[in-house]
Amino acid sequence: MMLPQSINHSKVIGGLVFGVGTSAALYYNRKKIVQLLYKWRINSLIKLSNMKVHIVTSNEEWECIYSLIAEEAYTIGALGFDCEWVQVQGSRRPVALLQLATASGVCVLVRLSCMNSIPDSLKMLLNDNRVLKLGVACIEDSQYLLMDYGLNVRGCVDLRHLYFRSFNQETPGENEIKQTANNIGLNGLSQKLLGKSLNKDWRIRAGDWEAHELSPKQIKYAAEDALVGIHILIKLLADKVYMDNSAAFMISSSWNAYVQKIIHQYCSDYSDLKFCSSKDPETNSKTIFYKPGTTNKTKMLDETSVTRKTLLYHNCQLLAPDNVPLCTVDPKKARWYVEKDLGTLVSEEPLVVKLNFEPAGRPQTEKGDGQFYLQERHNKCVVCGKDDSYIRKNIVPVEYRKYFPDILKAHQSHDVVLLCLKCHRKSSMQDNFLRNCLAEEFDAPIGTKSDLTHIVDQNLKRIRNAGGTLLKSGSKLPSEKVAELEQLLKDYYQCDTVTSDLIQKASNLEIKIPNENYEPHGLKVYKAYEKIGITKFERRWREYFLSSMNPNFMPEHWSINHNEYKMELKINRLPIDHPDRIIYKIALVGTEGNLDDDKDEKFLQENVFCSSTDKHSISHEFQQKQPEDYTVQDESFNDFDKIQ
């Protein structure tokens, strides 16, 4: 049956008009449509991600997860990257936690402080600049990893570079090279680009990242920091990067290759480029200086920048008036005796100086203890024997030793040895284990609230927040809220009227107060051993160094009981009421010990020492002490504390 011609004609015309109109609209808006599809496809990487956290404490655990993270890392060419460590009295401990995250949400928390060595596959991943490492201040993190563990991290991109480049492209002009740095941290970028706030509670950030187990809050904090890094990059790609028309329709394999390509093109100018900030002299506010095209790459630390090349031991001889050897000293100290007419130059090569006065003690009277200071010291790593570069190693860490009595510190070089860079890093990692044992054994936490010199007073914080809110947003707040905040200020400042000056004063209120419960980890451990004998603590660290590092080139006569023999002799010569007896008692048996009960005649008679063939044997320590005016000083303590 035939339909009326008018109806057929109408439909045909309508269809043609609709088709032509739709085609025209699609053609006219084709770029917008393709860009929307591209944005949707890029953003789906974030929306479809599901955070899955894996904690790694051993090489075996890393190898189990490596293939999972490496596959995605090499597919798109980027990872979120961050590090955490413990601060002790303002000093940074070695990096405790390395965080890596993929775009899909795989977050790997590598607990470096728990690992005895670094897996080769992790080293290769970090050193491969085909996989960019995204974060805030990631250049600094990479330098810490190099210093602490010898890990070369390449391809680090500070997200602040990318943000400011995108920002400057939208606002050309003078502000292209200078923008305020408020909220430019990772949390600020996350809020600005992802609409997500991170938990930046200082109690988590300053927590114990070397603890036996991380808390759930620490795990979430660490994982989110790494994951947000890669997601910020993806968001910038979606919003700021123009792509080829065909890219949005690519199949999966081609799409992944394309994403990797645009990531590297977008970040290439900023790979391993440090982000710098300074003060604006006009406003005195912190500003960021962004200069497009700059190529001043950050100087990566290497072995030559942290190891010393000059000799530590010069083995210059110091003689008593009767030509009996006393010890080896630094050339500067040897010549000081000559310049002060306290000694006579015997020879220049080798440098030998003879004292013009009788020293307070002679090493020969302290048996093997004294022999340690008479021998020549070799400038090489005591573990592997490498002799072209080395770093000083304090076997008993300074954070404990600084609390020791002077008799255990003055002119003592027994526990200072030389290690090459590789062995020094390994030893630092090993030290973490014993430190954590001491922290648990003596309830001396590291990096927790009790280990902070100052804490935030929550009441003062409420007052400052109230002042800040009134200062910035007072005119926008409901009258009831304004009255509530003003009442807080009235109650605190004991006044009837809130003025603009008072609001300004409240907004600048100092909220940190001294922590009355503050006690450093090192001091708390020292106090525990002060009761039972400091020499026991020294022995523990010396034994641990031998067992953990297995050194093959320890100096002759080095011993785990160094100095104990001489202190036994000294205390037995002192009158019973001499004030120095209490110091020797603390060193030998502690405040709770008894000298008579602990005295061991066999110990006083036997003297077995460490040699190159028997490095685990036992001897006693010699302390080279002289009168206050004329001190014979061992050469290892002439301002070598700073790494050269």
pLDDT at 433 > cutoff 70: yes
Interval 203-219: pLDDT, tens: 787 788 988 889 999 99
Q: What is the CATH number of domain 36-301?
A: 3.30.420.10
d(CA 239, CA 195): 14
d(CA 532, CA 590): 4
Cα angle value 598/601/604 (rounded, 5°)? 100
User: pLDDT: is 557 or 105 the higher one?
Assistant: 105
- 290: alpha, beta or left? (left if phi > 0; alpha if psi -120 to 50): beta
Q: Supply the mean pLDDT for the chain.
A: 75
Structure tokens at 571: 């205390």
User: What is the structure's pLDDT at 349?
Assistant: 80
User: pLDDT: is 259 or 606 the higher one?
Assistant: 259
φ, ψ of residue 398 to 5 degrees: the values are -60, -30
Cα angle value 526/530/536 (rounded, 5°)? 85
d(CA 372, CA 620): 10
- Decide if 451 contacts 518 (C-beta within 8 A): yes
User: What is the structure's pLDDT at 283?
Assistant: 35
d(CA 192, CA 512): 28
**Closest residue by Cα to residue 424 from 556, 613, 551:** 551
Q: Which residues contact 553 (CB under 8 A, 6 or more apart)?
A: 378, 380, 381, 382, 383, 384, 385, 612
φ, ψ of residue 89 to 5 degrees: the values are 55, 45
d(CA 335, CA 343): 8
d(CA 34, CA 250): 12
Average confidence (pLDDT) over 589-597: 79
Give the SS3 label for residue 279: strand
**Closest residue by Cα to residue 248 from 22, 32, 24, 25:** 32
User: What is the structure's pLDDT at 182?
Assistant: 43
Place of tokens 């460490």: 610
How many other β-carbons are positioned within 10 Å of the β-carbon of residue 313? 18
Counting beta carbons within 10 angstroms of the beta carbon of residue 400, is it exposed (0 to 12), middle (13 to 18) or buried (19 or more)?
A: buried
Task: Enumerate the CATH 3.30.420.10 domain ranges in the chain, comma separated.
Answer: 36-301
User: What is the structure's pLDDT at 193?
Assistant: 81
Helices and strands (H and E) in the chain: how many:
24, 19
Window from 203-212, 282-291, 311-320 with minimum mean pLDDT: 282-291
Largest Cα–Cα distance of the chain, in whole Å? 137
d(CA 85, CA 398): 18
Q: Indicate the pLDDT class of residue 318, thresholds 50, 70 and 90.
A: confident
* 599-607 LR contacts (CB < 8 Å, sep 24+): 599/568, 603/564, 603/565, 603/568, 604/565, 604/568, 604/569, 607/367, 607/368, 607/369, 607/565
Average confidence (pLDDT) over 478-484: 89
User: What is the structure's pLDDT at 573?
Assistant: 83
From first CA to last CA, the distance across the chain in angstroms is: 102
User: What is the structure's pLDDT at 122?
Assistant: 94
d(CA 12, CA 120): 70
- 192 DSSP 8-state letter: I
Q: Indicate the pLDDT class of residue 45, thresholds 50, 70 and 90.
A: low
Q: What is the pTM of this model?
A: 0.50
Counting beta carbons within 10 angstroms of the beta carbon of residue 452, is it exposed (0 to 12), middle (13 to 18) or buried (19 or more)?
A: buried
Q: 178-180 and 286-289 as β-strands: parallel, antiparallel, unpaired?
A: antiparallel
Q: What percent of the chain has pLDDT over 70?
A: 68
Greatest mean pLDDT among 237-251, 266-280, 533-547, 574-588: 533-547
Window from 92-106, 407-421, 568-582 with minimum mean pLDDT: 407-421
Place of tokens 């000298």: 595
Interval 128-186: pLDDT, tens: 988 999 999 999 999 899 888 888 899 999 999 888 877 654 444 444 434 444 447 88
pLDDT at 625 > cutoff 60: no
User: What is the structure's pLDDT at 224?
Assistant: 92
d(CA 411, CA 219): 45
3-state helix, strand, coil in the chain (%, to 5): 50, 15, 40
Q: Which amino acid is at 225?
A: D
User: What is the structure's pLDDT at 298?
Assistant: 40
pLDDT at 377 > cutoff 60: yes
- Decide if 25 contacts 18 (C-beta within 8 A): no
How many angstroms from the chain centroid is the CA of residue 467?
A: 35
User: What pairs with residue 55 in β-bridges?
Assistant: 109
User: pLDDT: is 304 or 520 the higher one?
Assistant: 520
User: pLDDT: is 391 or 308 the higher one?
Assistant: 391
Greatest mean pLDDT among 262-276, 384-398, 482-496, 624-638: 482-496
Place of tokens 């603390």: 586
User: What is the structure's pLDDT at 631?
Assistant: 37
Entry field: residues in the chain: 644
Average confidence (pLDDT) over 588-596: 84
Q: Which residues contact 213 (CB under 8 A, 6 or more apart)?
A: none
pLDDT at 607 > cutoff 60: no
User: What is the structure's pLDDT at 636?
Assistant: 41
User: pLDDT: is 30 or 360 the higher one?
Assistant: 360
φ, ψ of residue 101 to 5 degrees: the values are -145, 140
User: What is the structure's pLDDT at 100?
Assistant: 96
φ, ψ of residue 156 to 5 degrees: the values are -80, 130
Q: In what side-by-side order are the strands of the sheet with 352-355?
A: 325-329, 316-319, 352-355, 343-347
Window from 196-200, 417-421, 548-552 with minimum mean pLDDT: 196-200
User: What pairs with residue 352 in β-bridges?
Assistant: 317, 347
